[in-house]
């Protein structure tokens, strides 16, 4: 394993929910990262953010690690969940609620329902 792969693995192992994104959860720097961070923030999910723009090795390394070409990338309990489109779809279908519940991740069910109502 490369040093970058090791750092990525340690990050997703040490944190229940990790979002590899452009920018930070407080200041996303692309629309897709902003959307996923916005969903997680709104649902009250405690997540760790990794700004790929501040580290070129992570920016490319996470794409290689997951074999997924785009950023953002969400990991829950060490498993790759998906990017913006997948997370949006899972939020609207309720699958994301189920994933969090099954993994013991705390989230605001009412907020998740409000997202679905607003987009239904």
State the Cα–Cα distance between residues 74 and 77, nearest whole angstrom: 10
User: Is 30 marked within a binding site?
Assistant: yes
- Residue given tokens 């929910």 in the structure block: 17
| C-alpha–C-alpha distance, residues 31 and 26, integer Å | 13
| Pick from 105, 110, 119, 120: nearest CA to 42 | 110
Opening angle at CA 4, ends 62 and 1, nearest 5:
105
Which amino acids are annotated as binding site for [2Fe-2S] cluster, given as ranges? 30
Which amino acids are annotated as binding site, given as ranges? 30
């Amino acid at each position: 394993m490369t040093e970058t792969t090791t750092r990525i693995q340690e990050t997703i192992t040490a944190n229940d929910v990790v979002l590899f994104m452009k920018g930070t959860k407080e200041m996303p720097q692309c629309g897709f990262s902003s959307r996923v961070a916005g969903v997680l923030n709104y649902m009250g999910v405690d997540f760790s953010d990794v700004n790929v723009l501040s580290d070129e090795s992570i920016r490319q390394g996470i794409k290689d690690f997951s074999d997924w070409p785009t950023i953002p990338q969400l990991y829950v309990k060490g498993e790759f969940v998906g990017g913006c489109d997948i997370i949006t779809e899972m939020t609207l279908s309720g699958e994301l609620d189920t994933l969090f519940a099954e993994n013991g991740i705390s989230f605001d069910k009412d907020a998740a329902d409000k997202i679905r109502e607003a987009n239904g």
